[in-house]
Amino acid sequence: MNTYMLKTIAILLPLFALAPACSEAPVTPPRGLVIEGGDPERPYFFDFGTILDGSSPSHIYRFRNTESNPVTLNDILASCSCAVPTARVISKSGAIKQGRLRNDGAVCVIPPGDILEIEIQIDTSRIRRKNVDRLSTVRLRTSSSVTPFHTLEMHVKVQQLIQATPWEIELGEIPRNEIGRGETLVIVAVQDADVNLRTARSLSPQLEVTTTEEERFGQRVWVVEVAVEPGLPIGPWSGALQLIVDAPAFDPPERKVEVPVRANIVPDIVLRPRRLFLMRENQRGAEFTAEALIPGARFIVNSAALRDCPDRLYTTEVTPVAPDGAGRAAKWKIRVKPTEIEHQGPVDARLVVTLDSGEVLESALLGR
């Protein structure tokens, strides 16, 4: 054997020794909970496109547990109530187990190799702004150290055949013995669509609804007016009206849209502010206002005094604003001023205002 062959054998022997090691498949590290299907460039994104109001389409995201240990889905957090998620686990044998979304604890556990399905349903009734693009997200939190979080994205545009401005009628403060009034303007939102507002009706016994049709700027407009009856209890009030729309070229040909109506029922005469802080170094004092909210109503303030307050610590001065010949006015100012008397510690008093009708109004005065 010549020298050349000896050198060749010396070079090849180490390579033959390495051959078995090179033929072994490389170890693939676990990839956690891996999403499958969808757009390869944006697998976490789904475009619902434009959908009709009243419909409820859904989309399913699929994840596979590629780890050697079970992965727990701790919770599902949606960015808005319009995206309604459900979860289920599909085993390798095809068995299905539903996840728990309303109980304390984990949603579900995904064994190795099993599939997690997250189905997102769009509830169009919970989308206030129609005919505009919307991006909703749903976040998954898992026990996987590799993929602890996943964020799903959904684009949707809800096509409403009509547009009400505003969609929610806020009447604000209504005096208890006054009728609260408001309105919303309804137009056809889809150009050249054969759509007609058949009627608008009240869904609340205390709410009266009337509709008139007008033409404004060359466009047909329905003016829907609401009136809340007087005499309701003091505090927040909520009701609703329903718009019934005929749309023969669409499916379904009849649409019903609910418009919330809200108000805050307050006394006919109010004392404001309801609470006032007066610092000890403030020698100018503070001012309260008693005012009638019903137009044309007038009254007299018989007295204004502080209750639960050290004697002679403050003085009160009552002044009518633009009184009539009988001394009655729609608004009165009550000024509270500190005296020269020294007082240590906080003051938690109440301003009590007595009216000529016998009604008593109160506000809090806090001194520091």
Q: Give me the CATH number covering residue 195.
A: 2.60.40.10
Same domain assignment for residues 262 and 191: yes
First-to-last C-alpha distance (Å) of the chain: 110
Give Dmax over CA atoms of the chain in angstroms: 138
**Cβ distance 189 to 197 under 8 Å?**
no
Return the structure tokens found at 125: 């009734």
pLDDT reported for residue 99? 93
Distances (CA, A) of 80 to 50, 77, 163, 302: 18, 9, 22, 53
pLDDT reported for residue 285? 87
pLDDT reported for residue 61? 97
Distances (CA, A) of 88 to 29, 94, 216: 26, 12, 52
Tell me the residue range of the domain where 248 lies: 162-266
User: Which residues of the chain are under the pLDDT cut of 50?
Assistant: 15-16, 21-22
Return the structure tokens found at 332: 């009165």
pLDDT reported for residue 8? 52
Same domain assignment for residues 138 and 185: no
Q: Which of 266, 285, 308 is the last residue of a domain?
A: 266
Same domain assignment for residues 38 and 148: yes
Same domain assignment for residues 105 and 77: yes
Return the structure tokens found at 214: 């007008």
Reference 164, options 52, 249, 245; nearest CA is: 245
Domain count, the chain: 3
Compute the distance between CA of residue 231 and CA of residue 271 in angstroms, rounded to an integer.
Answer: 19
Same domain assignment for residues 183 and 220: yes
Residues 6+ apart with CB under 8 A from 302: 354, 355, 356
Compute the distance between CA of residue 42 and CA of residue 154 in angstroms, rounded to an integer.
Answer: 11
pLDDT reported for residue 60? 97
Q: Which of 266, 288, 313 is the last residue of a domain?
A: 266
Instruction: Please state the pTM of the whole predicted model.
Output: 0.65
Q: Which of 242, 266, 290 is the last residue of a domain?
A: 266
Q: What is the DSSP letter of 5?
A: H
Q: What angle do CA 119, 160, 190 make, to 5 degrees?
A: 135
Reference 302, options 349, 357, 224; nearest CA is: 357
pLDDT reported for residue 259? 94
pLDDT reported for residue 131? 80
Residues making up the chain, counted from first to last:
368
pLDDT reported for residue 321? 97
Question: Does 8 reside within a domain?
Answer: no
Same domain assignment for residues 110 and 49: yes
Same domain assignment for residues 154 and 186: no
pLDDT reported for residue 13? 52
Question: Does 4 reside within a domain?
Answer: no
